[in-house]
Structures are given as C-alpha cells and as structure tokens.
Structure 1
Amino acid sequence: MKATSGPLAATAAGQLLRRMFDAAVASAQPSVCVPPHVPDPSELGARGRLVVIGAGKASAVMAQAVEQHWRGRTEQLSGLVVTRYGHAVPCERIAIVEAAHPVPDEAGLQAAQRMLQLVQGLTVDDLVLCLISGGGSALLPLPAPGLSLTDKQALSRALLTSGASIHEMNCVRRHLSAIKGGRLAAACHPARVRSLLISDVPGDAPAEIASGPTVGDPTTCADALEIVQRYGIALPDAAREWLESGQGESIKPDDARLQGNRVHLVATPQQALEAAAALARAGGYQPLILGSALEGEARDVGRMLAGMALQVVRHGQPVAAPCVLLSGGETTVTVRGQGRGGRNVEALLSCAIALGGQQGVYALMADTDGVDGAEERAGALCGPDTLARAWSQGLAPRAALDANNGHGFFGAIGDAVITGPTLTNVNDFRAILIAAGTLAQS
C-alpha cells in the first residue's frame, strides 16, 4: 500500500500507527484467508461443477484466490463476481464485473441479473461458492418487482445521509431487493451453497454482510417500514406498497431451500484488531481492544474515544501509557453540511477537537477498504499539533466538523491517509496511541 506522507506520518508515533493499520488490512487479505476454504473436487457430484458467484470490494481478489487454489479440472470451474470500479484483478474462469459503490449503477444491475441467470438449472451435484465482502449491497442492486434502478439509487442516497445504522439500512435494502435477503441462495437450489464472508459489519451477522444474499433473514417488511418512518425516508409509492403488502418478505432461515448450506466467516474486524495489537505489543505499547463493533454518530464516537485517551493521560486508566486504544465497527454520519467527508475523518476531527492538543496523544482512523465516504482516501492522522497547524492556515476545526468536511480539513494540513484500493474490507480501524511519560507531563 502507499506510504502516508505529511508531518505526523514522519513521527515515530505516526509510523507505528500506519504500520498497525497496514497489519490490520494484511490480516484480511483474500490471499491469506480464502485458500483454507476452497472446496475439494471430491465435494462435487459425478457431473458437478463449482460455480463461483459473489459481490463486494474484495470479491475479485477472493475469486482470484479460488482460481489459484482450485485442485479440480479447469472445466469444472466457472462463475461471475461483481466488484467496485478499480478493484478488478485478472481471472481466467471467473468473470469479473466492475460497478459503482456506494450508489449503484446500471453495470451492477446487469451483473445481478446475469448472476441469477448463471445459477438457474443447477443440480444436487453442483456446488455454488459465494464470495461476499463489504460493498456487496450496492454492487447487487436488483430491485424488487415494480421498482427501478432510479428508485434504488434515490433510496441509497437517502439511507446514506439519514443517520441510520448499517443494520437498519440493510434491513430496508433486503426487503426492496430481488436478490438480497437469501434470494440468491434460494435461486441456486437444489445445488448446495457455501458462502465465504469477509465481514465489514458490527457483530459479523451473515445476514448483514452485503445484505445477506445467501443467508436467511429473520427481519420483516414491517421492520423495514418502521425504519423508513423513523428516519423520515421518502419511498416511491411502488416501494411502500411492496412493503405494506408483505410481498417484499425475505427468505427466512428455516426455508427448505437453504438447508444444508454452509457459511464461513474468513476475515473479521476482530481478527484485524488482533493483528494490530500484536504489532503494538512488539513495539512496546500495551494494546487495549475496546471493541470491534462500536457504532453511533461518528462525531460522538470520536469524542468518546478522546475522553478515554484523556483518562489514560490523567489517571493511567483503564491502562497505563505507553499504550494503544484500538477499536473497530461502523459509525454513521448525519450529513448537515456540504463538505467532503467520511465517517472516519468525521470521528477523527471530533476526537482531535476534544483532545485539545494534548501532548503525547496521536490517532489514526481509516477505512480498511481504502475509501472513506466517497473519497479515494482511507482516513487520516491527528496529533498534538493538529489544531495549531490548522489554525495557522486559517482553518477552523469546529466549522469543518459542522460542514462534514473532514477530508478537506486533513487534506489541507497534509495528514490524509491514502492507500489506494486495499482489495479487502473489514470496516473501520481506529487507533489512539498514548506515548510513555504522557501521565507525568500532564
């Protein structure tokens, strides 16, 4: 991945934070986590095939790993996966399609239609290997009957700016889809389906990852309607009628077409945090993992994490410096301004303001897929001099936060973290480093 440049990146603390982030991302690379789960040719029936399908920011690299480790005959392997623009890699037997994220486009719609056609007519001899990672919800935008791609695009924009959690957004998506919420697995029946999941959602529930196209969904149309009403999200008339009539009900976990299918979580946010913790420990810092599933408004989470860091500084609790506070999850941003933002830089800017230039405290917050919000930036760094450097350039940190302009703010002072596509996604990564001697200095 690209090296981070800028004032904070040049410090020892900045370099360690970046290495921890890189270790977290490396632990979730498909080349590491997929090969142990590639099926053996003996699992196919006499005339069976291995059909590979999938969606997500990591799906193309996952497909490549499957091709490289498949020990069966070449002609037994085929498939189609859809990934984000710029995330494709070469494959020989599995077709790779690129489409838009986070707002879906026509390419994603056509790929979803092709995928459903691909799994038609399979038999009990066949095995479907479904490769799912974060971003799959937008990349498989097949609308429910009566809805259009334009409807799905409008809904995506409304959900992304509503302040709804990822669980709430995906509940609505599952009930307005012709492929999510277990529908893709049902279409594969009677073939067996094995799903390999790289989790980007708090709690790692399979039904939430890419809105669960191959697993049963316990939520209902009534749940989706309640979420829409709670956040005041405008729905097309056809979508509201679809939900109110119950026609949008998803495939339930006890559906006979799903029985015998298997799900494997091959990479999770917790595993990524543990990889970062090991690196911190080797560098002489005591790691404390606060949780892999922290949710809430990004600015509130940032302020809370700053409060924990200040508790370490002032009282040596809940762990003494030198230490690193690690956390993951997926925050939300209720968009109020017109700035260039993302949930990680929003949380980091709020954290920096709350820290108030505290000496010895540094932080990195970034998305493990390399894209925070709609920007091709993973996140950013902050440190004791962040606010002072911003003020010296005429920047107002609080005004930037109010405008949801985290990328504009950190970009202007040179502290953006830019990686390029990481080709995986285990959600947000947050690390706050408190240096040795900080307690004595306060």
Structure 2
Amino acid sequence: MDTPEKIALNIFNSALQAVEPEKIFKDKLQIIGQKLLIKDGINRYFYDLNRYRNIYVVGGGKASAAMAFSLEKLLGQRITGGVVVTKYGHSEMLFENSVKIIEAAHPYPDNSGYMATLEVASILQNASEDDLVIALLSGGCSSLWALPPKQLNLDDLIQTTRLLVASGATIHQINTIRKHLSAISGGRAASLAYPAEVLVLLISDVIGDNLNTVASGPFFPDDTTFADCLEIVRYFELEEKLPRSVLEYLENGFSGLYEETPKRDAALFSKVTHQPVASNTIALSEAQRFAKECGFKTIMLNESIQGDAQTAAKVFCAFIKDVYETMSCGTLCVLAGGETTVSLGNSTGKGGRNQEFALAVALEIEGFDGITVLCCGTDGTDGPTDAAGAMVNGKIIGELKTRNLDYNNALANHDSYTLFKESGNLIITGPTYTNVMDLCIAVLNK
C-alpha cells in the first residue's frame, strides 16, 4: 500500500489535472461547423464565428499562456491576433502562433507587464462592433495587467502592492484598491473594448468565485468605491506608508475629481459575457472522486479555509484530530480548499501561506503519528519561493527537535521555507499552468 505521503501527492496531482487548461477547454469548448459551443453543465452557448470580422484574444494570469495555447488549438487561423501576459517561467513549455505571449513579474508589477498591458489596451481600443474579443483570465492578472492611470506611475503600483501584501489584507481588499489604481481593471477593460462583443473565459482563484474579484474584474462591473479603498487604508494603518501620490489619488477620487470604476448600470456590460471554466470546487471534486476510486473514505469541508494562516491551521487541526480520534481503522482523507493570509510585519523570513499553514499544522498534530497533511498552491508557487507548499505529519516536530531546528522561531518570523528546505518537507512542482487557489489534503491512517 502507498504511504500517506504518496496518497496525498497522488490526490493533489489528480486535482491539478482536472483544472489544467487543455483538459478544461477540451471538456467545455467545441467547434461545430462555424460555431463555437461552450458547455456549462446542462447549459449550451453558441457563438456564430461567421458573424465577426475579427477574433482577438487577450489574456492575463498564471494560466493565461496555457489557456491561449489550448484556444489556438481549437480556433486555429480564425484568430486574428492577440496578446496574453503571464508570469515569468509560465510559458516555457508552450509555443505561440497568432497570440503573442509576454512574460512579466508577479506578484509585484514590472515594466514588462506595463508594456504588455499597453498592447492589450491597444487591441481592446481598436476592436470594433463587428469584432469578438475572447479574454482569458486567471489568478495573477491583477499584477500582470499593470496600467496605472496617468496621475500615477508603475513604481506607485509596486510600492502599494508590496504594502498591501505585507499587511495581511485579503485578496478582495487588495483588489479593491488595485482596481482603483488601474486604467484597465475594475470594469475598465470592458469600457476600452466597447462596442466589440467580449467573451471572458476565466479560471477562478478566489473564494466564492466572485467575478468582480477574479483578476480584479477587468470586464465586470465594480461594486467597490474610492470610499472603500480609504477605509481599507485606514484599517491597516497605511496612511503614512503609502506613496503620497497614491493616497492623494484615492482621496481625490473620493472627492469626485476622478471617475469611479464602471458600475452595473453601465450599458457597455451588455456586450460582455463571463464564462467560468475552472475553480477550486472542480479541483476538490476531482480530489474526492480520485480518493474514493482508490478505496478511501473522504470528508470534504464545506467551508473554505481562509483568514490568518496560523489561526486557520488551528481550526483545521481541531477538526481532523477529532475525526482521527473517533474514526475506525483504515484510511480517511479530509479535503479542503481556500486561501489564507499572512501578516508579515517587519519580518524578513522566507515562506508562503501554505508553508506557514503546514508548519502551524505540524505543531498542532504533534504526537498524532497517523496524520499526514499536504498544503499546496495549485499554481505551483507559494509566496516568493520555488515551492508549491509543504507536507507534514505527526512526527515531524520530534524530528526537528532531534536536529535542533528552531521551528518556533521559523513560525514567528514567517521563515517556514528555510526550515522546510532544511528538513526536506517542501513540495516543489514547478509551474502548473493553472491557478485555483490552494488545496489542503489530510490523510488519516489508523
């Protein structure tokens, strides 16, 4: 029989395969004659490709290059041209044809992303009423589509993003501000593309699959306001830390000097259709199917794992320890998904939310030798590291003690990567070409 570690990895890999763009597009998209068929459960949507003079493809996110590759295989020469922007290292195994692939920095924007986004904006602005724009969006687009308003510059975006990430703000809070510091996010891409027809195919990396949060909702009405931005700034006490130009821009926007992001009553959104094609739920469902096929009992948590990583780990462990103590002999898999946060403060440690969650889990399950937990990001990247996450069990703390590795200091200083690299508990997948948040897989053996 496979080890618990092997079981957890097999389940994780099966879940990843279910949300790979090539599989998703093969399952959900089909060409019938001159029509593009999109399958969404029992629903079917048709696009008559003969109606359009041009078909443009734009995209942004860690999965966008793989999505473009799969779409090109489907549409071929029907595509007039396009540009997608992905993270460095996320297009190495792909080739480009009619769609140009540009790599840029994530999570903090860079000049490559800025120049690429200018190309995206140009395509959108030049699209006419007779054209179809297919937008391929996935997690990471908020940083990769880097286009500040004329009152700000790229460095303003970089500094602001760093402060927000370090503050422990949620992705919704971060994107609320990013949308208001962008000339393309928060519905503004839809404004640029109008009156062309827009089909948005997206891979969701946010809890609840909220369409105005995924990729900062470039083609979706924005329900947030400048007032919300200032409230977030005050909550995290960033008034004295933000670039002065950014704070003034938000305050002037609140005063009405700058136009708000497009809202739901804007006519331009009548030309836009959103079609989610993959999510954390799909990955979890496949994980459960695969585990059951292997003969294991399963429990899938209904609530997403979210909030502070260390706090969430304690809640998760309280549940799995209770299950372990009451279960009969055999193997049971507990499956969960979501996305936690880490407040870095002045820490100079190296890690990511999944590695920090895993280290906190290790402390909670010490002595429970039959519990093994894998915590990984589905994009293959956890924080500013080369790891997707980590795997721990009830024995690891004892092993760390024997080797005189200071796990308490690592947790306090958010330095989980350094610790796990030394102990050999990192999970390194490389780019996965997808992104549906994080998966947590607990294998209970008794």
Same-fold call, TM cutoff 0.5: yes
Tell me if the contact between 1:175 and 1:248 (Cα under 8 Å) persists in the aligned partners. Answer: no
Shift of 1:111: 0.8
Aligned CA distance change for structure 1 residues 120 and 320 (closer, same or farther; 3 Å):
farther
Tell me if the contact between 1:45 and 1:124 (Cα under 8 Å) persists in the aligned partners. Answer: no
- Report the AA paired with residue 37 of structure 1: L
Structure 1: how far apart are the matches of 2:232 and 2:201?
29
Map 1:191-270 onto structure 2 (within 5 A). 191-233=196-238, 234-246=241-253, 247=258, 249-270=260-281
SS at match of 1:330: strand
Shift of 1:399: 1.4
**1:378-427 Cα distance to aligned partner (Å, 9 max, x none):** 01111122112111211122111001111111111111101111011011
SS at match of 1:213: coil
The match for 1:332 is 341
**1:140-171 Cα distance to aligned partner (Å, 9 max, x none):** 11112211111111011101110111111111
Map 1:8-407 onto structure 2 (within 5 A). 12-35=3-26, 36-37=28-29, 40=35, 43-44=48-49, 46=51, 48-70=53-75, 74=77, 76-88=79-91, 89-233=94-238, 234-246=241-253, 247=258, 249-291=260-302, 293-316=304-327, 322-336=331-345, 337-407=347-417
Tell me if the contact between 1:312 and 1:320 (Cα under 8 Å) persists in the aligned partners. Answer: no
SS at match of 1:430: strand
Structure 2: how far apart are the matches of 1:389 and 1:32?
40
The match for 1:6 is none
RMSD: 1.8
- Report the AA paired with residue 373 of structure 1: G
Aligned CA distance change for structure 1 residues 127 and 47 (closer, same or farther; 3 Å):
closer
Shift of 1:200: 0.7
- 1:416 equivalent to 2:426? Answer yes
Structure 2: how far apart are the matches of 1:331 and 1:51?
36
Tell me if the contact between 1:134 and 1:198 (Cα under 8 Å) persists in the aligned partners. Answer: yes
Q: Which has the higher strand share?
A: 2
Aligned CA distance change for structure 1 residues 38 and 105 (closer, same or farther; 3 Å):
farther
Shift of 1:238: 2.6
Aligned CA distance change for structure 1 residues 18 and 181 (closer, same or farther; 3 Å):
same
Structure 2: how far apart are the matches of 1:75 and 1:20?
38
Structure 1: how far apart are the matches of 2:52 and 2:269?
22
- Report the AA paired with residue 332 of structure 2: C
Structure 1: how far apart are the matches of 2:172 and 2:226?
14
Worse overlay, 195-204 or 322-331: 322-331
SS at match of 1:63: helix
Worse overlay, 283-292 or 355-364: 283-292
Structure 2: how far apart are the matches of 1:338 and 1:241?
29
Shift of 1:345: 0.6
Structure 2: how far apart are the matches of 1:299 and 1:66?
40
Shift of 1:32: 1.1
Tell me if the contact between 1:202 and 1:292 (Cα under 8 Å) persists in the aligned partners. Answer: no
Segments of 5+ residues of structure 1 without an aligned counterpart are 1-9, 438-442
Worse overlay, 280-289 or 94-103: 280-289
**1:319-364 Cα distance to aligned partner (Å, 9 max, x none):** 9963211111110001143221100010010011011131200000
SS at match of 2:307: coil
Structure 1: how far apart are the matches of 2:329 and 2:135?
44
Structure 2: how far apart are the matches of 1:248 and 1:172?
14
Structure 2: how far apart are the matches of 1:76 and 1:150?
35
- Report the AA paired with residue 211 of structure 2: P
Segments of 5+ residues of structure 2 without an aligned counterpart are 37-46
- Report the AA paired with residue 407 of structure 2: P
SS at match of 2:276: strand
Shift of 1:216: 0.9
Structure 2: how far apart are the matches of 1:411 and 1:112?
36
Tell me if the contact between 1:218 and 1:252 (Cα under 8 Å) persists in the aligned partners. Answer: yes
- Report the AA paired with residue 84 of structure 1: K
SS at match of 1:254: coil
TM-score norm. by structure 2 comes to 0.91
- Report the AA paired with residue 219 of structure 1: T
- Report the AA paired with residue 64 of structure 1: F
The match for 1:5 is none
Worse overlay, 132-141 or 42-51: 42-51
Percent sequence identity over aligned pairs: 35
SS at match of 1:207: coil
Structure 1: how far apart are the matches of 2:6 and 2:272?
44
Aligned CA distance change for structure 1 residues 422 and 76 (closer, same or farther; 3 Å):
closer
Matched positions, count: 423
Structure 2: how far apart are the matches of 1:24 and 1:45?
37
Shift of 1:76: 4.3
Higher relative contact order (CA 8 A, sep 6+): 1
Structure 2: how far apart are the matches of 1:204 and 1:182?
16
Worse overlay, 231-240 or 57-66: 231-240
Shift of 1:266: 0.3
Worse overlay, 239-248 or 191-200: 239-248
Aligned CA distance change for structure 1 residues 47 and 59 (closer, same or farther; 3 Å):
closer
Structure 1: how far apart are the matches of 2:311 and 2:54?
50
